[in-house]
Structure 1
Amino acid sequence: MVNQVIIGSRDSDLAMWQASWVAEALQQAYPDRSFQIKGIKTKGDNILDVALAKIGDKGLFTKELEAALLNGTIHMAVHSMKDLPTQLPEGLDIGAVCEREYPGDVLISRNNLQLADLKKGARVGTSSLRRRAQLLHYRPDLQMVDIRGNLNTRLRKFKELELDALVLAYAGIKRLGFEELITQLIPFDICLPAVGQGSLGVELTSTDTATRAMLAHLDHRPSRTAIAAERAFMQRLEGGCQVPIGAYSQVEGELLTLTGTVFDLHGQTMLRHSITGSAVNAKQLGIRLAEVLIDHGAEKILHQARQEFGRYDK
């Protein structure tokens, strides 16, 4: 058994907070071990002047961490679940899905205004096509401004660019202690979250049984089940975090309810549906919901979105 466990993480403030949370939880459970955090820059951290969707989203914030896992530099990698591609590299697995924080998005605005009260043509910052599409569906008059960077950078740009509002994930805002900035929890009927948003996933090599046993302490079964349905939904649609797909799953007792949506980039065409069934069949429910949307034209909408936005090759 390894006495010093090395935890890999992106080196942003939020990612390091998340890795520290995992390290502290494991330290309490295993006081005889030593836990060290190793910060690693990813492709998504290094390219800040190009929209995420133009870079390509497969492993944008995870590939370098996964390489470190496979070459033995680190024992585990902490990710935001929304950043993890639905298809992991061969030899890697998710050892823990941590208990989910509230997964929704929030509005930060000048003068404490809510979405409905923003002036006509208000300039709203977001780096997410999912948020952009759903907000434009609700308020077609809004001007969406692309903002890249970590949480602190986006908050700074919000002020520097004199935007009217900024949309971010609640979980990150709470974890870094900026809750007082929130002016509205955006309702799910306006904006569904990204798949897996609000939860941390801890990745490890498939053969590392010792680390897997350790991570069982952090695995939260209802969160893992709910997110498994969302990830199956997205995988069946062959989507990623940079296409306009939103999903939210809730587990209540033995039942799971999953709501999913697909938009065009401008929020003009929307498909949205919900499905309820046994939580034991989480993945099958996700696939079934995706197929309902496919039957109503989801693949055409997503294909057009990819074609319209194009790719950035580096």
Structure 2
Amino acid sequence: MKIIVGTRGSKLAVTQTNWVINKLKEKHPEVEFETKIIKTKGDLIQNVSLDKIGDKGLFVKEIEQQLIDGQIDMAVHSMKDMPSNLPKGLKFASIPKREDARDVLVLKEGYSSINDLPNGAKVATGSKRRKYQLLKYRPDLNIVPIRGNVDTRIRKIVDENLDGVVLA
């Protein structure tokens, strides 16, 4: 028996998918698993902030469609990517125990905390909620939008001369 598992191609998505597959293999060693990487609208449109695209399920619709069409047998998603409503015929089969839910502020070399940042420091986040949390704590910060996977966002600290990046 072979199960085809759909996922996004980001390092985080693949890591999460491999974790799920390994847990399933522990219980069902006789089953073969194949990972299928699927590009989503959210992966393809990188130059526009997520809130401006204005589409729920940016990172899951194409994967859900392949589930509905029978091209994959199951999918692994981050809960942060999930819209509040699932398409007819799909369901959450399982939700594993959540890892540490705290955000992290990755800072430019030379800084060790948000309090070390100079007035007007440029900090990037992809979340409106995090933007306003930062501004409540430090109204002087220059909060800028950012897109990309974890590696890309960290690299942008240097490439885009950011003082920090908030990651989920």
If the length of structure 1 is used for normalisation, what is the TM-score?
0.52
Aligned counterparts of 1:37 and 1:53: Cα–Cα separation in 2: 30
Q: How far 1:112 moved relative to its partner?
A: 3.8
TM-fit CA distance, 1:162: 1.7
Percent identity between the aligned chains?
A: 51
By how many angstroms is 1:153 displaced?
A: 1.1
Paired residues, what number?
Answer: 167
Please say if 1:75 is aligned against 2:73: yes
In structure 1, the partner of 2:27 is: 29
**Which residue does 2:43 correspond to in 1?**
45
Using the alignment, how far apart are the partners of 2:33 and 2:23 within structure 1? 10
Question: What residue ranges of structure 1 are gaps of 5+ in the alignment?
Answer: 170-314
Give 1:10's aligned residue: 8
Counterpart-to-counterpart distance in 1, 2:81 and 2:55:
9
The residue type equivalent to 1:116 in the other structure is N
The structure in which a higher percent of residues are strand is 1
Residue 117 of structure 1: how far off its partner (Å):
2.6
Alpha-carbon shift at residue 97 of structure 1 (Å):
0.6
Counterpart in the other structure of 1:204: none
- Partner residue, 2:150: 151
Q: Does the Cα contact within 8 Å between 2:103 and 2:167 map onto a contact in 1?
A: yes
Q: The residue matched to 1:97 in structure 2 has which SS?
A: coil
Alignment map for 1:170-181 (pairs within 5 Å): none
Partner of residue 207, structure 1: none
Look up the match of 1:168: 167
Q: Is the 8 A contact 2:40 2:62 kept in 1?
A: yes
Alignment of 1:1-314 (within 5 A): 3-110=1-108, 111-169=110-168
After superposition, give the CA deviation of every residue in 1:134-166 in whole Å (9 maximum; x if it has no partner).
Answer: 111111110012111111111111111121111
Residues in 2 aligned to 1:112 and 1:37: alpha-carbon distance in whole angstroms: 40
Aligned-residue offset at 1:14: 1.1
SS at structure 2 position matched to 1:27:
helix
Displacement of 1:57 after TM fit?
3.5
For structure 2, the residue ranges without an aligned partner over 5 or more in a row are: none
Give the Å deviation of 1:29.
1.1
Structure that is richer in helix per residue? 1
Q: Secondary structure at the match of 2:75?
A: strand
Matched AA of 1:123? K
Where 1:54 maps in the other structure, the secondary structure is helix
